[in-house]
Structure 1
Amino acid sequence: MNDFDFLHGSWDVANRRLTAPLTGGGTWEEFPGHSVIRPLFGGAGNIDEIVFPTLDRRGVTLRLFDRATEQWSIHWSDSRTGQLDPPVTGGFTGDRGDFYGDDTLDGRPIRVHFTWYQLGPDTARWEQEFSADEGRTWEHNWTMDFTRTGPAFSGLGGA
């Protein structure tokens, strides 16, 4: 249940994103971010806000642990739309977490895969990839490298 405790705190985030996923083209762009992640429900959830200063955008992630299924759901919203995207669900094996879900891109259905890596006490990595063929092939399209800038929060989330 406490799989995401390593993320609690403040982070600088180096982003690298494909500008036109699943088109066979596009270029990679790099931009900074800063994220603050706080625990919820005694470790069974957390919430973060990330600021992308050069894009004039923000995002919010809500991660929740379902005690019945022992799976995490990850929900994302972006300041451009104010809408909650469909969640990805999954879990951790050791220091790696894999999460899958269904979404749409430009009106067509896609599969989404998030991978989280706990790389040490002060570094983490998130990766995203999309599939347009029901998961037979995947295109990597976004990487976030996290470097801790502030300590983990404690005592914010009760049961």
Structure 2
Amino acid sequence: MTEQITDEQSTDGRGDFDFFFGRWHGAVRKLADVSDRDCTEWVEFEASCDCAPILDGLGNFETAIMRPGGEAVAGATLRLFDPTSRTWRIWWMSTRLPGVLDTPVEGRFEGDRGVFEGPDEFHGKPILVRYEWDLLGADKVRWAQRFSWDDGATWDDLNWTTIWTRLP
């Protein structure tokens, strides 16, 4: 049985991440130590990912491989859409912290930009983390991360950014 999608469902936000379905190559640039607010040294490496819809379009799942310093790190992202609040929740997990599912960030897209924020912890200190998605064209997107150490009053400059380019 195929479920019929209503006009409201097609515009409620559940399709916000449809652009990311498929295979992607990532050019990653991150601060060498994202927890050091005075760090100015950047490291660059490559990544790849695959993203597919789940739960009849109410979510998607992404698997990624990153190679910082040549070492392969596997990661995965679970994104779930809540039609009642019209928001997305995003969970991250990786082989760097086996058995740990990060606390989700939450937010939505406004046009070609999505902002998602949530609580986190760095070296025992509570912080807020922000993920930013910027659509740069049909086959290019930027994902970025920032931290707030003062409960959202101010946000640090970017500490991690990836330019994703769609693979054929």
TM-score relative to the length of structure 1: 0.90
Q: Counterparts of 1:1-159 in structure 2 under 5 Å?
A: 1-26=14-39, 27-53=41-67, 54-82=70-98, 83-139=100-156, 140-150=158-168
Task: Tell me which structure has the larger Cα radius of gyration.
Answer: 2
The structure in which a higher percent of residues are helix is 2
Distance 1:49 1:129 in 2: 22
CA-CA distance at 1:22 after TM superposition: 4.0
The structure in which a higher percent of residues are strand is 1
Percent identity of paired positions between Structure 1 and Structure 2: 41
Secondary structure of 1:6's partner? helix
Distance 1:40 1:30 in 2: 31
Secondary structure of 1:138's partner? coil
Asked whether the 8 Å contact 1:123–1:146 carries over to 2, the reply is yes
Aligned to 1:153: none
Q: Unaligned stretches of 5+ in structure 2?
A: 1-13
Distance 1:23 1:11 in 2: 30
Q: Which has the higher contact order (CA 8 A, sep 6+)?
A: 1
Q: Cα deviations across residues 98-152 of structure 1 (Å, max 9, x unaligned)?
A: 10100000110000111111221110110100011111221220001000003xx
Q: After TM superposition, what 4+ stretches of structure 1 lie above 4 angstroms from structure 2?
A: none
Aligned length: 150
Asked whether the 8 Å contact 1:19–1:29 carries over to 2, the reply is yes
Asked whether the 8 Å contact 1:116–1:127 carries over to 2, the reply is yes
Moved more, 92-101 or 52-61: 52-61
